[in-house]
Amino acid sequence: MAKPQYAILRFAKYKGPGIYDIEAHNERTKEKYASNPDIDPERTHLNFHLVEPADRYRKESKRQIEEAGCRTRKDSVRVVEALFTVSPEFFKGKKRADVKAFYEYALEFMKQEQNPKTYISAVVHMDEKTPHMHLCFVPLTADNRLSAKEIVGNKKKLSVWQDKFWAHMVQKYPTLERGESASESGRKHIPVRVFKQMTRLTKQKERLDKLLGDVKLTNYKERTQQIIAFLDKYIPDIEQMDTELQKYKATFESADAEIKALEESNESMAEKLKKLQTESAIKKLKDNQLRQDYEDARAILDRIPPEILRQYRSRANNQKQEIHR
């Protein structure tokens, strides 16, 4: 039985500095992309535009907004990005020309919904795992109002967007099924930066583990001070990671359920291994590993001698009192 393949449309809104970041990503203006391991620099030359940017994103959005006579606030959304993509398997064995034809057809859909004059750039990335298109536009309505809220809408309208996009794409690509947006499923994509934060936290944990393993009667006072100083950074980082991971609770639950279902299935070990090697399964395993790494980072706190923890908390309380004086 063939795996279902989905047509997916997602939106993101940008107000200020974020516009520069998305331009750097879309237009590949950075020489290195260490923060995104999915980018293969040797394939970047295969990327192509369906709409060439006339100017820098921020400058072009400013020009359009001023020409429309719109007032802006500091928190006004100036650029909306539509991400068009499909299931990874869809383009397997397809040529670059096939990918181009697919996203040209996707762009036809968008031209029916949003005035092409508002477009800043439409670029197809061939240098990541799944070819996809980033379309950036200024959220100007038909009567020249700046309103990302009206164009993109709420959760209900996002579902309508997904319905309409799928209805358009299935006319030419009948094997596609309707994608489910993150807002509908409750699942969220865990960004690369969270994995990077966890990598740093794991290195800190290893350093703390080494300090704790080296506490002796002969160096107790010195090591205690070193551990307390280390906790000044480590504990806030743990709390920050906890806050981050709370956002992705539904993602973890989904990964748990799917991996558990696979483990309990009656399929042969070879079939299970084959499924575990798919891109979606690998991502779920990485998500689960992220959570496990976090739990390990928290667990090491239980190994800190109570006396050292008391000294740390006492010092932290004294510092707070000093701040409030």
Query: What count of Cα atoms within 13 Å lies in the side-chain half-sphere of residue 272?
Result: 12
Q: Which CATH number fits domain 5-183: 3.30.930.30, 3.40.50.1980, 3.40.50.11890, 3.30.360.10?
A: 3.30.930.30
Beta bridge partners of residue 133, listed in sequence order? 84, 124
Residue pair 188/247 in contact (Cβ under 8 Å)? The answer is yes
Tell me how crowded residue 79 is: count the other CB atoms within 10 A of its CB. 26
- Domain ranges within the chain, ordered by starting residue: 5-183, 192-324
Q: Is the distance from CB of 136 to CB of 81 less than 8 angstroms?
A: yes
CA dist., res. 181 & res. 103, Å (int)? 19
User: Quick one: which H or E segment has residue 230?
Assistant: helix 220-246
248 burial via Cβ count (<10 Å: 0-12, 13-18, 19+) = buried
Angle at 103 between CA 100 and CA 107, to 5 degrees: 130
Q: Classify strands 5-14 and 176-178 as parallel, antiparallel or unpaired.
A: parallel
Three-state DSSP class for residue 81: strand
Whether the pTM exceeds 0.75: the reply is no
Residue 231's CB is within 10 A of a number of other CB atoms, namely 21
Helix count and strand count (H, E) for the chain: 12, 6
Q: In a structure prediction context, what are the per-residue pLDDT tens digits for the chain, which is 325 residues long?
A: 346 688 889 999 998 888 988 898 899 887 555 456 678 888 889 999 999 999 999 999 999 999 999 988 888 999 999 999 998 889 988 999 999 999 999 999 999 999 999 999 999 999 888 899 999 999 999 999 999 999 998 878 888 898 899 889 999 998 888 765 555 455 556 666 777 888 888 899 998 898 888 888 888 888 888 988 888 888 888 888 887 777 777 666 666 665 566 555 555 555 545 444 444 555 666 677 887 888 888 888 888 888 888 888 887 777 655 544 5
What residue has token string 């291994």? Answer: 273
- How many whole angstroms separate alpha carbon 268 and alpha carbon 254? 23
